[in-house]
Copies of this chain bind each other. A is one copy, B any other.
Amino acid sequence: MTTESPSQANGATGRRRELLAIAAELFADKGFKNTTVRDIADAAGILSGSLYHHFDSKESMVDEILSSFQAELFAAYDEVLRSDDDARTKIERAVRLSFEAIDRHRHEVAIFQNEADFLGQQERFAYLAERNAQSRDVWITLLEDGLRSGALRADLDVELTYRFIRDTVWVAVRWYRPGGKLTHTDVADQYLTILLDGIAHA
């Protein structure tokens, strides 16, 4: 069915990685559906048909991009969850970790942000919805721990707070640029200041 040899079916080839990186940038900039296989091939300096030597389909490209990124991201979340830091520190770490992910994998984050809803309708991408639920579990756990320990104010709506944090953190991928004036740490510092203590004068 596939033209890959067994030894390379895991995508370890250098050329595969290159092509996936090129595709990821285009998917992030123009959207998955709005990026053609000819766009990708042009950017790679080959003909569109040649892409099918490396990949089964355009879908399998975005699949590989998203699933490998998600695996890495959730490994990081798990480490925070399992640490013995106090509740507030865990929340801080989870926020910093997310901005760092934007810094290191902006294309992947952007694709997930823009295409998850649409792709998630297909069975092949059902794991996207699962990962979303998993992410929610992480945050709800962290926030409820914060409430219990007294680190967070008691009148918070945990579900809404989770949504606000998630939205603000991940949508930053739209404007954050690695190598720009602000580092991901700068952004995380400022956001944590506002999130924890508010913008109003004390």
Contact = CB atoms under 8 A, between A and B. Distances in A.
Interface of A: 30-31, 33-34, 88, 114, 117-118, 146, 150-157, 160-161, 163-164, 167-168, 171-172, 174-175, 182, 187, 190-191, 193-202
Contacts of A174: 117, 167
A6 to B, nearest CB: 36
For the residues of A in contact with B, the DSSP-based class is helix
Contact of A118 (B30, B167, B197): B30
B195 A198 contact: yes
Given A33-B33, A200-B153, A201-B151, A171 B167 contact: yes
A37 to B, nearest CB: 15
A196 B199 contact: yes
Contacts of A196: 198-200
Contacts of A193: 155
Which 7 residue pairs are nearest across A and B when measured between Cβ atoms? A198-B198, A197-B198, A196-B200, A167-B171, A168-B168, A33-B34, A160-B190
B171 A88 contact: no
Contacts of A190: 157, 160-161, 164
B199 A187 contact: no
Contact of A172 (B30, B151, B163): B163
A34 B33 CA distance: 7
Considering residues A152, A160, A172, A174, which has the most beta carbons from chain B within 10 angstroms of its beta carbon?
A: A160
B201 A150 contact: yes
A187 B167 CA distance: 14
